[in-house]
Structure 1
Amino acid sequence: MGYEELKELYGSYEIPREIHQLFQLEEEFAGKGLSLGQIGFQPINQFHPYAITPPDLIAFASTGGDGIHFGFLTDFHSVPDLNEAPIVCVTPTNDQPIRYMARNIREFLDLAFSIVYVEMLETIWTFENEQQVQELATEFGKDTPRKWKKDRERILTRCREVFGTKKVDVVSYLHEVKKERTASKRMSTLDGLGVGDRNFETTSGKSFTFSEERKCDEKEMKRMRLFLSQADELEKLAFIRDANYWYIVTSGYDEAVWELLQELLTSMGLNVEAEFVAERC
C-alpha cells in the first residue's frame, strides 16, 4: 500500500481504521492467491475522479467494472469525521449515476458483506424487495465455477470476521437511508444528494435553471455568473452539485463550467474540492 498516496487522497481527514483494515486484508489475501477484487470490492489509494464524481467525495474502493466506485461524502467538508460520513456509490455509465448507500462506513460494510458480490449494490439500489436480491444472487451464481464460489465465500467469511459485520436486509436498509437523506436536505439537487443540514440560513433556496441543451456559451455563462452573484452559500453549493451533474465538467468538454466550478469552490474556501475538480483532465 502506498501510504503517502493514501494520505494525499484523504487530505486533512484522519483515515478511518476500516480503510487500513481493507488494505491489510488485501495483503493477507494476496499471500493466499486471493483478492478483494474477487468480490467486486477493491480498496484504492489513488484515484482520478470521473466527471460525474461529486467534488466532495473521497473514493475508497472500486468494483473493478464500469468505473463504479464508493466514497465518503464530506458534504463539502461539513462532516468533521469520516467515521460519520455517508457512503455514496458512483456508477458513471448508469442512470441514476449517484447512489446514496449508507449512513457511515460501518453500516456500509454490513451491506457489502450481506451479499455475494459487492458490485451488486449499485443494482440492488433500484430494487423494491429482498426477493429481487435473491433472484439476482441466484442468476449471478448460475455459471460461476465451484472454485470461484468457494474463494468468494472464504473472502467474505474473513471480511465478516475482521469487521464484525452483521447480515442486514439490504433493500429495507437502502430504502430507509434514502428516505432519511431526503428528509435532511435543505435543498434538493439534480444528482439526488441535495445539500444537507448546515449552520446557515438561506433566504429563498432558489436553484439555477440550466439550459436543456446543456449550453455553456458566453450568454449562458453570463447568466450563471449573475445567479451566483446573488446566491447565498447554500444556493451556491446546490449550484455546484447541479452543474457537476448536468455538464461534463472536465478538460476538453464543458471547460467553461469546469473553470467556473474551480473558481467558485476556491472562493468559498473549498480548496480540496477545487483541486479534485481540477484533476479531471
Structure 2
Amino acid sequence: MGKALKRLYGSYDIPKEINQLIELEEDLQKVDLSLAMIGLIPIVEFHPYSITPPDLIPFAETGGDGIHLGFLTDFGLVSDLMDAPIVCVSPTNDPPIRYIARNFKEFMNLALAVPYVEMLEGFWAIQDEKNISEAMKEFVNETPVDWVTMRAHIYNRLKQSFSTEQVNIFHYFHQIKLERAEQIAMQTLDGLGIMGQSNGSSYSFAANRNCDELELERMAHYLNAANLVEKLAFVRDAHYWCILAPDYDEAVSNIIIKLLESLDLTDEVNRVVGEM
C-alpha cells in the first residue's frame, strides 16, 4: 500500500490528514464498520478515468458510479496539498467535474454536514436551499435504524480526528464557485479554468470530436504558438473533450504527454500514462 500511495501523490508529501483517514478506516474495519458506510472510502491506489484531470490527486471515492474526490494542484501551482482545492469527479453525470471545496479542512466540514458524503455531488447543482434539507431528511427517514446508529459512530470518530465547523452547504457552494471564477485566467470546458494571467484564447476542438490527421495538425499548430496558460487549458479541455484511453484518442494522448514533458510536469505525465 505504501508504494502505491506514494506513486499516487508523486512529488507531493502525503498529508498527515490522509494517513489519519486511512488509519481510521483500518480501525473501523476491526469492529465491522467502514467509511464506505458514509461514502468516504480512502484511496490508496487509483486507476484514473479519462475524464479525471491530470493535475488531480484522488484521496477518496464514494463507492458509487466511479465518483471520486481529489486535491487539485492546478498543474503544480499548489505547494501544500492542504491548501489545494477539492474537486469531485462524477464520470457518469453532467457536468462530471465539480469544484467542491477551497481546501481539505473545508471539505471535511461539508462531509460531516451530510448523512452520506456522496450527497454533496448532487447538492452542488441544486438551486433551492430547501431542496438540500428536504433531501437529507428523506435520506435519514429511509435509512434503517441500525445504519443510522453505525453512521453516527463513524461520524463521531471523524470528529475526533478532524476539527470541523458548521457550514451552510448551499451558500458555501454558491460562494466558492464565484471565487473560483474570479481567480482563473482562462475558462476550460470542465469548469475549473486555469489560474494565472493570459490574453490568449482557448483551442476550439472539432464539434464532431474528430481526431483525424488534419485535426492533429491543427492542434500542433495551435500549441506551437500557445502561451503557458493556453497550453494548460488545452490539456484540461482535451481531457474533457477527448477519450484519452487505449483504442480511442491515443494520438491526442501522445500530444498531451509531449506537451506536459516540455513543461516539466512529471506528475501529470505519469497520470496520463497511467490512463493508457
- TM bin, normalised by shorter chain, reads over 0.9
Query: 1:187: which partner in 2?
Result: 186
1:257 aligns with 2:256: no
Query: 1:234: which partner in 2?
Result: 229
1:43 aligns with 2:42: yes
Query: 1:222: which partner in 2?
Result: 217
Query: 2:19: which partner in 1?
Result: 20
Query: 2:275: which partner in 1?
Result: 280
CA contact (8 A) 1:130 1:169 kept: no
CA contact (8 A) 1:114 1:166 kept: no
Paired-residue identity, %: 50
* TM, length-normalised to structure 2: 0.97
CA contact (8 A) 2:65 2:91 kept: yes
2 CA distance for matches of 1:148 and 1:81? Answer: 36
Q: CA deviation at 1:138?
A: 2.3
Q: CA deviation at 1:24?
A: 1.3
CA contact (8 A) 2:86 2:99 kept: yes
Q: CA deviation at 1:173?
A: 0.7
More divergent stretch after superposition (210-219 vs 14-23): 14-23
Query: 1:111: which partner in 2?
Result: 110
Read off the aligned partner of 1:157 and give its amino acid letter: N
Read off the aligned partner of 2:6 and give its amino acid letter: K
The 3-state SS of whatever aligns with 1:171 is helix
Query: 2:148: which partner in 1?
Result: 149
Query: 2:2: which partner in 1?
Result: 3
The 3-state SS of whatever aligns with 1:101 is strand
Out of 262, 270, 274, the residue aligned to residue 265 of structure 2 is: 270
* TM, length-normalised to structure 1: 0.96
CA contact (8 A) 1:90 1:98 kept: yes
Query: 1:178: which partner in 2?
Result: 177
1:140 aligns with 2:139: yes
2 CA distance for matches of 1:34 and 1:121? Answer: 22
Query: 2:74: which partner in 1?
Result: 75
Could you list the runs of 4 or more consecutive aligned residues of structure 1 that deviate by over 3 angstroms after TM superposition? none
Q: CA deviation at 1:129?
A: 3.5
2 CA distance for matches of 1:130 and 1:16? Answer: 33
TM-superposition CA deviations, 1:185-209 (whole Å, max 9, x none): 0111110000013xxx53x321111
The 3-state SS of whatever aligns with 1:121 is helix
1:161 aligns with 2:166: no
2 CA distance for matches of 1:10 and 1:195? Answer: 21
2 CA distance for matches of 1:168 and 1:43? Answer: 23
Kindly report the root-mean-square deviation, in angstroms, between the aligned alpha carbons of the 2 structures: 1.1
Read off the aligned partner of 1:273 and give its amino acid letter: E
TM-superposition CA deviations, 1:104-162 (whole Å, max 9, x none): 11111011111100000100000124321111112223432111111111111221222
Where do 5+ consecutive residues of structure 2 fail to align?
none
1:248 aligns with 2:256: no
Aligned length: 276
Q: CA deviation at 1:28?
A: 1.4
The 3-state SS of whatever aligns with 2:99 is strand
